[in-house]
Amino acid sequence: MSSRIRRALVGIIAAVIAFLGLGQPASAHGFSSVVYVHVTNGDGGGRIRTVLELEYDLFVVSAADAEHDDPLFRAGTAAFEAGDTEGQAAALGSHAESAVRYVTERFSVGTDGKACTPSRAGDFTIGRREGVPYAAVPLEWACPGQGGDPEVRSTLFPDSEGYVRGTRTIATYDLAGLSGSAALDADHPSFSIGQSWYERFWEFFRLGAEHLLTGVDHVLFLLALIAGSRRLREIVLAATSFTLAHSVTFLLAALGLVHVPERIVEPVIALSIAVVAGWHLWRLPRRGDRAAALPDPAVEGPLGLDRAGWLRLGVVFCFGLVHGLGFAGALGIDEPWSWTLLWSLLVFNVGIEAVQLGIIAIVFPLLALLYRRAPRAGLWATGALCAGVAAMGLVWFVQRVLEG
Q: What share of the chain is helix, strand, coil (3-state, %, to 5)?
A: 60, 20, 25
**Domain boundaries, given as residue ranges, for the chain:** 3-29+215-403, 32-204
Comparing C-alpha atoms, which of 25, 34, 32 is closest to residue 270?
A: 25
Distance CA(204)–CA(343), nearest Å, equals: 9
Phi, psi for residue 385 in degrees, rounded to 5: -60, -50
pLDDT at 377: 76
Helix intervals (H) in 105-257: 197-214, 216-227, 232-254
CB atoms under 10 Å from CB of 348, counted, come to: 26
Report yes or no on whether pTM surpasses 0.85: no
pLDDT at 100: 93
* Count of residues making up the chain: 404
| Torsion region of 162: left, alpha or beta (phi above 0 gives left; psi -120 to 50 gives alpha) | left
Per-residue pLDDT tens digits for 354-386: 888 898 888 888 888 887 888 777 777 888 888
pLDDT tens track, the chain, 404 positions: 455 555 555 555 555 555 555 444 444 444 678 898 999 888 766 789 999 999 998 898 888 765 556 788 888 888 888 888 899 999 999 989 989 999 999 999 998 888 999 999 999 999 887 668 899 999 999 988 666 788 899 988 876 656 676 788 888 888 877 777 787 888 788 888 877 777 778 877 887 887 788 778 888 888 888 887 777 888 888 888 888 888 888 878 777 778 787 778 888 888 888 888 888 888 775 434 443 444 444 445 555 566 777 888 888 899 889 888 877 766 655 554 455 567 777 888 888 888 888 988 888 888 888 878 887 777 778 888 888 888 888 888 888 888 76
Helix intervals (H) in 284-374: 290-293, 307-331, 339-373
pLDDT at 293: 43
Comparing C-alpha atoms, which of 322, 40, 66, 39 is closest to residue 184?
A: 39
Q: Is 131 exposed, middle or buried (0-12, 13-18, 19+ CB in 10 A)?
A: exposed
pLDDT at 68: 54
pLDDT at 309: 72
Comparing C-alpha atoms, which of 88, 103, 73, 123 is closest to residue 167?
A: 103
pLDDT at 352: 85
Element (H, E) at 112: none
Bridge partner residues of 344 (DSSP): none
pLDDT at 221: 86
